[in-house]
Structure 1
């Protein structure tokens, strides 16, 4: 599953992809992972059947992450098992009990948590997730706001759980990507609004600048 989850270096995931040509361009730019948002209330929503048309042909060329918010587990399992996505990302209020069948079946998944304060980060291991994504606290919106949180909290989590891949999201831009990489050392930066010209439309000048910033800071 490429080196995306390797906690010893910082990778990049570009989330909120809605256009087939953007997905192919991410591959051309050697971006390790993309995210597709299957939450109907998202500004970057794309129906699974529509996304499958460009996700299936790019299997093994880029890590394909499907983003879900409190979805029917059977929908998620279907997309994992029919090779539409490689990894599920749970970005809602999913409990450890919700996540348990995915862990039991060895389906890779990311559990995203909105960080309000240190109490948001207790019991991380209960989810048995492949990786934990830390994002800004955004009740009812579930990410994609472009707002950052206190990265010192993320640093503390990484120090406490050095072998658990921690992804950093929330307000990542070309201007702060190097700082985020050098100061936090996450397994990956995850960005949506910081990578686009408008919701769901990618800006590759921004993406290249962020990729360059990550490389320069390692």
Structure 2
């Protein structure tokens, strides 16, 4: 199981995440309280080890600006969190993570229209796109045949609930931001605890088996 720590704004936060074992770091270039300037992100990304992948988060941004920032910062992935179309995603010519806000079961139907590297399912935003810090109904994901090996689960994850999320959904990656913060800042202790919980989850003792009935995937242990 891999971990993405999103909303990185400082070298200290990035260092804490890397030291704790994060696999992806997210940098928000859209309107957000965690927004970072491309120049600042460039400095942080320059110091990352090769195995830690950088992700730039954009919301309904122009193709030209996304490509400009991607080139400047040397991003590994582009995360699109707005109303970007499948055609727009394909036109970027970059590795894509497409985010989808899940309110009800039918919101998952649109995933099949996109050809991207990862599909991120998240809680609906409140003030901004995504980042509400509140989990959505994970049971909605169990009624659909989803690309598990390309699935990123986000939305209100914490050290206290991430094991339950993994047991229910078994995503490829779990994505956390506010769940590892204290007073709006990345907390090294919370980051370490969260990643340890994910990385030490007893996968071998609780292997997931799936059976398909009536077009649904049922996860049993």
The TM-score with structure 1 as length reference comes to 0.86
Gap change, CA 1:79 and 1:217, over 3 Å in 2: farther
Cα offsets for 1:61-101 (capped at 9, x unmatched) = 41100100111111222233345311000011111121121
State the partner residue of 1:81.
71
Higher RCO (CA < 8 A, seq sep 6+):
1
Matches within 5 A, 1:52-201: 52-58=42-48, 60-102=50-92, 105=93, 107-138=94-125, 141-157=128-144, 160-162=145-147, 164-199=149-184, 201=185
Question: Normalized against structure 2, the TM-score is what?
Answer: 0.85
Query: C-alpha separation between the residues in 1 aligned to 2:87 and 2:126?
Result: 21
1:162 Cα shift? 3.9
- Of residues 3, 7, 21 in structure 2, which corresponds to 1:16? 7
Q: Distance in 2 between matches of 1:27 and 1:210?
A: 13
SS of 2:82's equivalent in the other structure is: coil
2:23 aligned to 22, 28, 32, which one? 32
Q: 1:51 to 1:82 in 2, by over 3 A?
A: closer
Is 1:211 the equivalent of 2:201? Answer: no
Aligned to 1:4: none
Relative to structure 1, the CA distance from residue 65 to residue 130 in structure 2 (aligned partners, 3 Å threshold; closer, same or farther) is same
Residues 28 and 65 of structure 1: CA distance in aligned 2, closer, same or farther (over 3 Å) = same
The answer on whether the counterparts of 1:174 and 1:209 sit within 8 Å (CA) in structure 2 is yes
Aligned residues: 202
Q: Which has the larger radius of gyration?
A: 2
**Alignment partners' CA distance in 2, 1:99 and 1:15:** 21
CA RMSD of aligned residues (A): 1.7
Aligned to 2:214: none
Any gaps of 5 or more consecutive residues in structure 2? 204-221
**Which runs of 4 or more aligned residues in structure 1 lie more than 4 Å from their structure 2 counterparts after TM superposition?**
none
